[in-house]
Every structure is written in C-alpha cells, then in structure tokens.
Amino acid sequence: MSDKQQQSSEEIDLGQLFQLIGNAFKKLFNFIASIFKGIFHFIMLFLLFIQKHFIKFVIAGVIGIGLGIYLDSKKEQKYISSMVVEPNFNSVQQLYNNIDFYNELAKAKDSVALSNALKITSTEAASIKELIIESYSDENQKIKLFDQFIRELDTTTVKNLDFEAYLKNFNTFDARFHKINLISTDSRVAKKAQPEIVKSISNNGYFKEQKATNDNNIILQDSIYKQQLDEIVSLQQLYKSVMEKEAAKEMQGTNINLAENSRSQSKEIELLKERDLLKEKIVKLNQERADKTSILNVISDFPTRGVELGGFVNQYKFILPILLVSLLLVFFLLLELNKALKQYNKE
C-alpha cells in the first residue's frame, strides 16, 4: 500500500514540474510576442506620423533641392591632384617643411609669395586652396622597412625588438613613399607647380652633397666588386688549368695525389659560391644606383588635369534637403511630445 502511495506522489511531483516548465515557456513566448507587438505598434505610429506630415516633408525637400542647386551654382568648384614621391638622403623632413610652407601661404591667400615660390602666375597661385602631404605605405612596405631596419642592428638589440614594437614607433617620416595633394579651383595648376616643388628639394646644397658622396661610394664599390669578380675568374682558370694537367698526368700513368685533387675541386666550388655572392651584391648595388638617381624620385606625377573634389555627397543639393527634412522631423516630434506630456498631466 505504501509503494502505491509513493508512486502516486512521484507522478504528482513530475506533473507539477512539467506544468511549471510549461508555464515558464508560455511566459517567455508571451514576453517575446509583447516585444514584437510593441515594435510593430511603434512602427505603425511612426508611419501614421509621416503620413500626417508627408506633404510638409515633400515641400521642405523641394525647397532644399532648389536652394542647394542655387548655392552649388554660386560656389567655386575645387579640384584635387595627387603626386607620389620617394625622398632620398633624409630629405623627407625638408619636403614636409616645404609643403607646410606652401600650405600656409595658400591659407593666408598670399598669392604673390606663393607664385614666387612655385614659379607660377599670381592668378594661378590664388587658385590654390590647400596643399597636404601624407605618408603612403601599406603593411607590406612596413614589413620591408622593418626587415631593412633590423639588418642594421646588432644581434642583442634585435632579440629585444619585435614587429609590433616597431609599428608603435613607426612615424610618418619612416615611410618610403609620400603623397602630395594639391587642392585648387584651377584644375591644371598642380602640373605647373610640380617642377618647383621637386626643385626645392633637388637644388638643396646639403642633399646635393649627400647624393654626390653616395654616387662616388657606389662607383668605388662597383669597381671593387668587378675587380674581385675578375680575380675569381682568374683563379677559376688557374684551378681549371691545374686540374687539366693533373688529368693529363693520370692518363700517362703517373701517380697523383687524390687528396690534392679533392682540395682543388673544393676550392673551385668555393670560388663558384663567392662569384654568385658577388653577382648578388652587384645586382643590389645597381638597384641602389637606380633608386637614388635623384634626391626626390617622382613615382607618380601630378595629372594634367585634377579631378573634382567632394563628389555628389558634398554638394548642397544633396545636403540641404536632408538637413531641412531632418529639422522639420525633429520639430514635429517635439510638438507631438509636448502634446503627450500635456495629456499625461491632465490624466
């Protein structure tokens, strides 16, 4: 009898447990449904609000477009031109200083001083609104710069330096390439100003001296490499001649020293390796000569004609309609909020 009572009690407990779980899920689903109902209710109220003031929003949009078209027709069209350069012999600081100087003259509207600096007419100088310079480097270039950087350090310093630490200390002047942007109301002035921007660096006495020294060092290093290469070729010919004589003696039945023959072959292999290393050094030297033919390498010239600045997004006929409709929307929302607060106060 007691076993039946215990089994019945367990069934009642399980029934209550499943009922509690069912109630919990029901409450959860009701809660989720209430959220969706609230969102749907809010959307419908907003759509009714838009419907109520739709004509007013359309009028505000049309006024904004008309006013924007008028203002766009009155404002000066600006153009942007870009040039990518590679400064050599630590001339990057001077390049930034020069561009900042030109930019200050443009902002101060000192067209006379700017025309003298860039060797253009005063009218062309007055059309220049801004000059900007920025570093032009991606992750791959930073990795290459890091590799060159650690090659110049001793083993102890390299162990305490990683790529992340290098990136934290990486600044604008460390980049290999730099982009100069010129903004003007004259689309063709950038191309005319380019020669003087380049000359302002190339004609600097200090950098010219650095380039001359580098050219002499390259010539000297090249002559040393070529002399070493000639010596290696001569030694190769000598070892070849020795080995041919030893081979001839072997053909005649003369006893030869195998150890000596092995050493000759080993030396010839070492000379081949040394010759390959020298060829690699000569290739790198030629590449350095090509990279540093100028104090300021122009990678990409200013285009003959600049492109329009800003595009459609920065035009008044696009900005003003959005601005007026947004202001009108906020105004009507505040009115509705005020009505709701008054109604709540009465209740």
Give dist(CA 56, CA 62) in Å, integer. Answer: 10
pLDDT at 98: 95
pLDDT at 131: 95
pLDDT at 6: 53
**Antiparallel, parallel or unpaired: β 307-308 and 128-135:** unpaired
Whether 63 and 324 have beta carbons less than 8 Å apart is answered as yes
Whether 85 and 99 have beta carbons less than 8 Å apart is answered as no
pLDDT digits over 91-106, tens only?
999 999 999 999 999 9
Specify the 3-state DSSP secondary structure of 282.
helix
The more confident residue out of 160 and 343 is: 343
Give dist(CA 209, CA 27) in Å, integer. Answer: 84
Whether 110 and 82 have beta carbons less than 8 Å apart is answered as no
Whether 232 and 278 have beta carbons less than 8 Å apart is answered as yes
Burial 204-238 (b: 16+ CB within 10 A, else e): beebeebbeebeeeeeeeeeeeeebbeebeebbee
Give dist(CA 333, CA 347) in Å, integer. Answer: 21
Question: First CA to last CA across the chain, in angstroms?
Answer: 65
pLDDT band with cut points at 50, 70 and 90 for residue 304: very high
Average pLDDT, stretch 8-33?
Answer: 74
pLDDT at 149: 61
pLDDT at 252: 61
Average pLDDT, stretch 311-335?
Answer: 85
pLDDT digits over 50-82, tens only?
888 899 989 999 998 999 888 877 778 889 999
The more confident residue out of 13 and 114 is: 114
